[in-house]
Structure 1
Amino acid sequence: MSMGDFPGGRWHGHWIAAELPEFEIDPTSLGGDLPPARFSRVQFRRTFEVATDTGVPGRVPLRISADSRYVLWVNGVEVGRGPIRSQPRRLRYDEYDIADLLRVGRNVIAVLVTYYGHANSFWQPAASSGVMGRDVQLVLEARLSQGEGDWLVTDAAWRASRSKAWRGLESGQALDGVPIELLDARELDPAWVEVDFDDSAWTEATVVKTSHDGGLAESRPPVDPYGAMLPRGIGMLGGERVVPVAAALQTAPTGETAAKGLPDHPAERLIDRLRAAGPTSAISLPITVARDADTSTIVTVDFGRIVAGHVELDIDAPAGVRLDLWYQESADYDPAAGPVESAPRASASYVTRGHSDRYKAVDVNGLRRIFLHIPSATEGDAREVTVRQIAVSEYHYPFTGDASFSSGDPELDRLYRAGIRTTEMNSFDAFTDCPTREQRAWVGDGVVHQMVHLVANEDWRLARNYVTLGASPRADGMLPMTVVGEIEHRGGYAIPDWALHWIHGVWNLFRHDGDHAATLSLLPVVERVLRWYEPYVDEHGTLSDVPEWNLIDWSSVFSSHRSALITGLWARGLAEYAEMADWLGNAASADWARAHWERIRQGFEDFWDPERGSYVDHIVAGERMPAMSQAAGAVAVVSGLAPQERWSGIVDVVTDPARVVVRSWIGGADGGYDMAKIVEQSLGIYRIDWDAEHEIVMAQPFFSYVVHDAVARAGQAERLPDLLRRWSVFLHEGYDTFGECWGWGTPVHAWSSTPTKDLIWYVLGVTPAEPGYASVKVAPRPGDIDRLSGAVPTPHGLVRVNVDAGKVSVDSPIPVKFVALDGSQATAPAGHSSFEL
């Protein structure tokens, strides 16, 4: 689309709704706070004519947005879904060209809009502005020709129907953050998206107008609370339609569902039946189940790997059969043995209409297995149920272009691909922690996703969106732990160190993109985060008693009292801020940051343990405590606080396999969360079950990105291939994704994907030599690997590097700065060049 398609800030289309909710509005306080409406879905339609004499134009640009989410069809063909997640006052819109879907004569645009009502993991309600932003709303406009009056817009000519087919789950709508979908297909005519559907029984759409002081009853964007809506800014999501690789069947006796006080929850109902079910037998789809009154049937399908997208179900059944689906991430879930409590409850139910029973979920789910429960037959109804297919249409952000990595070591190649797949499964309209449980956009987690995109995807728009979406500070300047969802909405406590990882993401983007305007717009948010810490600077210049949730990662580290961990991350942020401020010509801000950094450097020496050769986690009442972690040594190096002559020794100490132990404050031995540990931690109880005087706690996969940055900065990048092999522990039983933590957690957590970044930045050795890749640094460190090759994206095109038996060839669209193993440097202009490693 071009800027000329939709010039200016004012839309032609009006905000429309099905009918205004019945709020008690006091006309003397029209800006008063109103509660959001309940969960609902509204169907909108508009038929229109394309004249024979003019025909279908070559282009028909359309833009659309909604609160909360929409699905758009033109003449029965699904066009797209959106809008992408965004804070309500920065609401996004999408643009499409629908010319290819139009025809001469009668056409129809159909839109299903969901309003979630209560904040969930990926949406939060807008601030009250009268009735605006309190219920399902849609705005759309399409230019049918270049004539000024030839616009198709949302207005009172549209037809609307608040659907009875979907309903919210009264108890536990979002137990794991992901909405539960309950659909009664008997109430949904599948032809409603087609031209010939009769919508005469529907109501006229209501134009929604502002009712606050100064709103002037405006109904077209920009209006409060959405402001000047912004373009999408990222690419379209999509993926392949995938089918299971295995299926099984088992039966269970008919019985009342216990379901833990949630009798309508699909997952709880299914777990209850699974506990009573008999042994499984392998089957293949399609399969016909002959129902009787005494038994119900459970069909289980396994996709062989984690998939993420819209679940599809193709069924032949009598009308009124409730089918429950439960989406499970585990390859070997055993309802009798567990871990039941920590298993996610993402699920859905579908009540058959008796014909055309082809279901496609509205929301996205991540899963490996699907359990489908077919109930016993009721009296007089013993008809068969045929399960034709269960599938998932994957729906995530694509990795595009020709970026690549290969080596003489198949294990490293597999790790590179697994990091991409893991990140892909957590790249939707934002970076998420995991698709199977939460789908929350955690401000800290996303820095690893971003780095994977920067090294393996030629499309960097989602990497840019990570920092702009995260730039949503509280009134005090601190970022919420997750953005756009129930956590940001309630405005509670944060994970302050997550904001410091976000700052690293801003710095990553500055280094790779070199975008002055973007960096300038983000730097005030960066500074406010850094200044948030100033009240906690102690007399030594370090940070003490920082409140809220100082997570670091799930390893057993100490961040309380006077903290080396938080101080080191803050110092890294100050140094990165100073570098960006200098680049923008803001000398005063750079000087402020460097003055803090210098004071920290002097006080940080108190954490140094000369006998053990690294830094301890914290100091309590002036006493250096013995607990030592990889994280403490790593932040000392990456922040530059440790003298450079110590760096190599610190890395040797914190990566020594004879000293390093794996411990977590909340991880359980059964592969799940240990609730007893979680309760203890909430009470301030931290049990040291390792030799704190001599052993060092290993970072979990997330913070390992900082550890590996330290290894490389200390001049030991050649060790990374061996350190990365630990990640192979995740790649078993068909999984091709990295898990959350060492030995427990979800099997698809993109904060663990540092191997992909490390193999490009440090093993192949390709990084920006100057902001924006004005030139490229090539410093391969293959260790014992004989052969490496890769193609790395830059704003100027791919940089291709090949390493074979000590000889390095580079094909680059930008000048090259080469660093040999002995540290000697050479330069070459853009084009082809060769070097000796």
Structure 2
Amino acid sequence: MQWQASWIWLEGEPSPRNAWVCFRKSFELDRHASRLEEARLSITADSRYVLYVNGQLVGRGPVRSWPFEQSYDTYDLHHLLRPGRNCLAVLVTHFGVSTFSYVRGRGGLLAQLELSTGDGRTTLGTDGSWKVHRHLGYSRRTTRISPQQGFVEQLDARAWPGEWTDPVYDDSGWEDAKIVGPAGTPPWERLVPRDIPFLTEEVLHPTRVVSLHSVVPPQVAVAVDMRTIMMPDSADHAEQVQYAGFLATILRADGEGTARLLLSKPWLGDGIAASVNGQVYWADRMTRTPTGRELHLELSAGDNLLLVYVCGSDHADPLRLALDSDLGLELVPPLGGESPFVAIGPLGSRVVRNFDFSRPLEYDEAAVQRISSCASAADLHAWSHLLRPVPPELVSPADVFTLCTWPRRRERLSTGKDVEAMVVPSQDPGVAPILRAGDTELVLDFGQEVSGYLFLDVEASEGTVIDLYGFEFMEDDYRQDTVGLDNTLRYTCREGRQRYVSPQRRGLRYLMLTVRHARAPLRVHGVGVVQSTYPVSQAGTFRCSDPLLNDIWEISRLTTKLCMEDTFVDCPAYEQTFWVGDSRNEALIAYYLFGAEGLVRRCLRLVPGSRRYTPLYMDQVPSGWVSVIPNWTFLWVMACREYYERTGDLAFVQGIWPDIQYTLDHYLQHINGDGLLEISAWNLLDWAPIDQPNSGVVTHQNCFLVRALMDADELGRSAGDETARRYAERARELAAAINAHLWCPQHRAYIDSIHADGRRSDTLSMQTQVVALLTGVAEGDRAEVVRSYIASPPAGWVQIGSPFMSFFLYEAMVRQGMYAQMLEDVRHKYGIMLEHGATTCWETFPGALGARYTRSHCHAWSAAPGYFLGAYVLGVRPGGPGWRRVIVAPQPCDLAWARGSVPLPRGDRVDVSWRRSGQKLLLRVERPREVELEVVPPEGYELEVEERVRDIAPQ
């Protein structure tokens, strides 16, 4: 690609916070436009774009990438251009902050249209002739969706014409674009073409109306970005920070009485307090609620000083503050200013690196006590050196999440046919009625988890507000609100019929739709999701004699599908983050369910880009959070070997091999005098109380390093590097050190860790034993002992806490021939999910992380049955690189029959079915002719095999 276009932006701040910017370029095609042979548009933007051509939405992008390897997309526009006036229109969203999938750069758009006719070629690129204008409908005063994502979306359709993308729209009042620089301008040092297909788009509608309520919201619901207030430079990164400070405002009441206060700051614990007129309420005096902490205040008539104290860690969750009272309440600036708040502090602050919480935050505790006792705004002047007005852009005046989850009053009503018609796509719209007692709240159920872009098609009176809130789980009278995820959208209607498609991806199952300030009933022609996932051309199948296993396989399939975007993501709701270690298991699952080798290759190649920030590769990429989980890097090395086994792609191995050497060589620099890996990092494996300190020797990650070193030996020699044998030698040395120093003869088990101060862990966990056996560290008699623990976990040991860890448990089980026990564990643990209505796999098992069931209800690291049922019950496994040889070794256990298909890496599939007849197994296999087959009978069975072969279709 020869770039002639320039990066463009608008005048002003290079990297504005939460900016929505519109670009247009109009051009003429003569009457010979039908002779166009080619019309290709290449485009990228910082941070995200939505492309329209002649008013039609064409695509979204770019895929996530490192800024120094900026990805661009290419579209064929041949069918969209026409004789006469044409228009390219682009909506660019620039975050202005780093997230878990974006490293802060600066605002910019780069696009180049190449037209080809019989008369020659014409190039039309972004330059100073393009028109640009801020989108005035989107509020910039919104909070972060979550620490992992960008900003909440609130659009006032009255403030910006919906026709701005059309060719006939008059943009003469817009500014000329500002040229930032040519292709190659930092931070976008290199431009790389998109390396995966465009994602699918499928329109989904809700399946039912769950409920209709009349609701009255609280009087005040605001959200404040305390992180940026206290540590302004934190917009440049996504690290955890710690601080201590205050937020102050005046509550002006029209009389004397009480008010209800809600304070919410996820994950903060007890580091929060409130003070009203000098009366201090520490966290232990507040009532815990599902979404925060609640307090009843005594207010005087007139001005009341409210101070909110925040102390602790912050990863970009807003401080939510809501008030409700029979009094008239107003928030007033204590010392003047554009927003109703002033900040006091920080009294102490620091950036937390690699989960190092061993050093406590240092702050002025005496100042905290004195500031808390301030009884009036005049008392604040004593702290003038710490006082700062809070900029309006850091305060969201309409916190839709709290408005939806903390109403003053909520009354259930019966639904009628007009309401229920909202979920039926037809000529006749559904109707959301106006209710006398309050706003109209509807809860809609999609029948399963969905992932994509919300849309509305409505007829409304001007000024009608539609608040949308997506959540994942409800059961009987319990609704699990998405604390830590502001999964909301506010759309304020213009008069008449209008359609809106959100540019922000969301994951949800249930959609709360609340109508406020309507002067006429809202007529709903359509509401739903444009579901968007990674496209696959083939799919695995599985059925067996146990309906429970069939349902478990199906929720594993849907989970994996919804977590396949431009990378694997942990979940479509809370994070949408590519976690490197998670994706090793997800890749194996996806091979069996969808193939998806292109997505796996893209994920693996993204990881080494983090070497610009750390030689010990980051655990989520690309990201502004430089966080290291050593196991995640070791799993990445394992995934590279498994990708080679899957595809036989030697060019991939040769390309990635230097990056594997680079990070492993740096890890080997952390081997201590005992021959063990000793490191300060986020030493995580499972959401369970394993003794896995963030500084010291952790047994499970030493074991996984052994496995990574052995896989590096194999990869390096495949790449033609005979010196890679040194990694196998280091693996043997490390395994010997583990057995010498981390085995406890008294308990006949591997201990979890040795702390940095030399203290040996007294914790024994199933996780550590599983990994020691799985990686081959446990050998001989020790392997037999550990195997007995897996067969019968000892009481009092730390048990498996997440389906992610269960994947490794199942790997260990099948390697030991414990197929029946693996199936029973699957039935039990995943059966609990199905019992509670799950359509996708949970992040954790009930009780972990303090949740009633789980935090995320759709988590790809949990879809293990999608792999193990195909690989071991059907029994289809590779017999060498590229699957040119396939082994079929079914394990019937207690099943009467099973059948299914496993995709092959070059297309096509292997079909397997078997049925038990006494001790005889009737096996049928159909395969492509070029695939060699080896059949292995299960122990104790006689095989009767029917083999069929398919020829390659003629080209």
TM-score, normalised with respect to structure 2: 0.73
**Alignment correspondent of 2:719:** 584
CA gap of 1:528–1:279, structure 2 versus 1, over 3 A, is same
Say which of 12, 27, 51 aligns to 1:21. Answer: 12
**Alignment correspondent of 2:502:** 361
**Alignment correspondent of 2:128:** 156
CA gap of 1:594–1:789, structure 2 versus 1, over 3 A, is farther
**Alignment correspondent of 2:269:** none
1:576 is displaced (CA, Å) by 0.9
**Alignment correspondent of 1:598:** 733
**Alignment correspondent of 1:500:** 634
Amino acid at match of 1:716: M
Amino acid at match of 1:721: L
1:196 is displaced (CA, Å) by 2.0
**Alignment correspondent of 1:782:** 892
5+ unaligned residues in a row in structure 2: which ranges? 223-319, 322-395, 423-428, 847-853, 951-955
Give the secondary structure class of the aligned counterpart of 1:542.
coil
1:696 is displaced (CA, Å) by 4.7
Say which of 474, 480, 484 aligns to 1:331. Answer: 474
Give the secondary structure class of the aligned counterpart of 1:208.
strand
1:294 is displaced (CA, Å) by 5.7
Amino acid at match of 1:757: Y
Q: Do structure 1's residue 230 and structure 2's residue 192 form an aligned pair?
A: yes
**Alignment correspondent of 1:741:** 844
Matches of 2:623 and 2:942 in 1, distance apart?
48
Q: Do structure 1's residue 472 and structure 2's residue 609 form an aligned pair?
A: yes
**Alignment correspondent of 2:213:** 250
**Alignment correspondent of 1:727:** 830
1:731 is displaced (CA, Å) by 2.1
Matches of 1:184 and 1:531 in 2, distance apart?
54
Q: Do structure 1's residue 455 and structure 2's residue 592 form an aligned pair?
A: yes
CA gap of 1:760–1:649, structure 2 versus 1, over 3 A, is farther
Say which of 169, 178, 189 aligns to 2:141. Answer: 169
Equivalent residues in 2 for 1:711-726 (5 A)?
Answer: 711-725=813-827, 726=829
**Alignment correspondent of 2:771:** 635
Equivalent residues in 2 for 1:56-75 (5 A)?
Answer: 56-75=35-54
Say which of 746, 755, 767 aligns to 2:877. Answer: 767
Give the secondary structure class of the aligned counterpart of 1:650.
helix
In the alignment, is the contact (CA less than 8 A) between 2:712 and 2:727 conserved in 1?
A: no
Matches of 2:12 and 2:728 in 1, distance apart?
51
**Alignment correspondent of 1:703:** 805
Residues 246-291 of structure 1, C-alpha deviations (whole Å, 9 max, x = no match): 2222112365134533542211222232x52122433412543454
CA gap of 1:786–1:646, structure 2 versus 1, over 3 A, is farther
Q: Do structure 1's residue 800 and structure 2's residue 911 form an aligned pair?
A: yes
In the alignment, is the contact (CA less than 8 A) between 2:5 and 2:110 conserved in 1?
A: no
Amino acid at match of 2:206: P
**Alignment correspondent of 2:540:** 403
Matches of 1:624 and 1:654 in 2, distance apart?
23
Name whichever structure is richer in strand by fraction: 2
In the alignment, is the contact (CA less than 8 A) between 1:315 and 1:385 conserved in 2?
A: yes
Amino acid at match of 2:645: R
**Alignment correspondent of 2:202:** 240
Give the secondary structure class of the aligned counterpart of 2:31.
coil
1:586 is displaced (CA, Å) by 1.3
Equivalent residues in 2 for 1:71-86 (5 A)?
Answer: 71-86=50-65
Amino acid at match of 1:227: E
Residues 109-162 of structure 1, C-alpha deviations (whole Å, 9 max, x = no match): 222111111123332222xxxxxxx22323232333366542232233332222
Q: How many equivalent pairs are there?
A: 748
1:471 is displaced (CA, Å) by 2.2
Give the secondary structure class of the aligned counterpart of 2:672.
coil
Matches of 2:476 and 2:197 in 1, distance apart?
36
Give the secondary structure class of the aligned counterpart of 1:698.
coil
Equivalent residues in 2 for 1:143-542 (5 A)?
Answer: 143-145=115-117, 149-172=121-144, 174=146, 177-209=149-181, 219=182, 221-247=183-209, 248-253=211-216, 256-259=219-222, 260-261=320-321, 263-273=397-407, 275-282=408-415, 283-284=419-420, 285=422, 286-291=429-434, 295-332=438-475, 342=483, 344-376=485-517, 382-474=519-611, 475-487=613-625, 491=626, 493-542=627-676
Residues 274-325 of structure 1, C-alpha deviations (whole Å, 9 max, x = no match): x521224334125434547862222221212211110112222222233222
- State, as a whole percentage, how many aligned pairs show the same letter: 28
Matches of 2:761 and 2:942 in 1, distance apart?
43
Amino acid at match of 1:782: P
Give the secondary structure class of the aligned counterpart of 1:751.
helix
Matches of 2:466 and 2:460 in 1, distance apart?
10
**Alignment correspondent of 2:348:** none
Residues 633-685 of structure 1, C-alpha deviations (whole Å, 9 max, x = no match): 2212221112156546533422426x36xxxxxxxxxxxxxxxxxxxxxxxxx
5+ unaligned residues in a row in structure 1: which ranges? 1-5, 23-34, 127-133, 210-218, 661-690
1:766 is displaced (CA, Å) by 2.0
In the alignment, is the contact (CA less than 8 A) between 1:15 and 1:208 conserved in 2?
A: yes
1:71 is displaced (CA, Å) by 1.1
Amino acid at match of 2:680: P
1:183 is displaced (CA, Å) by 0.8
**Alignment correspondent of 2:864:** 754
In the alignment, is the contact (CA less than 8 A) between 1:44 and 1:161 conserved in 2?
A: yes
In the alignment, is the contact (CA less than 8 A) between 2:803 and 2:845 conserved in 1?
A: yes
Q: Do structure 1's residue 11 and structure 2's residue 121 form an aligned pair?
A: no
In the alignment, is the contact (CA less than 8 A) between 1:315 and 1:389 conserved in 2?
A: yes
In the alignment, is the contact (CA less than 8 A) between 1:574 and 1:597 conserved in 2?
A: no
Q: Which moved more, 1:366-375 or 1:281-290?
A: 281-290
1:713 is displaced (CA, Å) by 1.9
TM-score, normalised with respect to structure 1: 0.83
Matches of 1:148 and 1:155 in 2, distance apart?
22
Equivalent residues in 2 for 1:523-672 (5 A)?
Answer: 523-544=657-678, 546-560=679-693, 561-608=696-743, 614-619=749-754, 625-643=761-779, 647=783, 650-656=786-792, 659=794
Matches of 2:644 and 2:217 in 1, distance apart?
61
Amino acid at match of 1:510: Y
Residues 324-368 of structure 1, C-alpha deviations (whole Å, 9 max, x = no match): 22221122496xx77658363211111111133222111100111
**Alignment correspondent of 1:810:** 925
CA gap of 1:331–1:412, structure 2 versus 1, over 3 A, is same
Residues 496-548 of structure 1, C-alpha deviations (whole Å, 9 max, x = no match): 2222222222122111122122112222222233233324323332234x212
CA gap of 1:333–1:581, structure 2 versus 1, over 3 A, is farther
CA gap of 1:608–1:292, structure 2 versus 1, over 3 A, is closer
Matches of 1:11 and 1:596 in 2, distance apart?
47
Matches of 1:172 and 1:343 in 2, distance apart?
10
CA gap of 1:278–1:302, structure 2 versus 1, over 3 A, is same
1:705 is displaced (CA, Å) by 1.4
Amino acid at match of 1:632: T
1:56 is displaced (CA, Å) by 4.1
Matches of 1:723 and 1:289 in 2, distance apart?
46
Give the secondary structure class of the aligned counterpart of 2:689.
coil
Say which of 64, 67, 73 aligns to 1:94. Answer: 73
1:830 is displaced (CA, Å) by 11
CA gap of 1:818–1:786, structure 2 versus 1, over 3 A, is same
1:51 is displaced (CA, Å) by 2.9
In the alignment, is the contact (CA less than 8 A) between 1:473 and 1:525 conserved in 2?
A: no
CA gap of 1:280–1:630, structure 2 versus 1, over 3 A, is farther
Amino acid at match of 1:367: L
The CA RMSD over aligned residues, in Å, is: 2.9
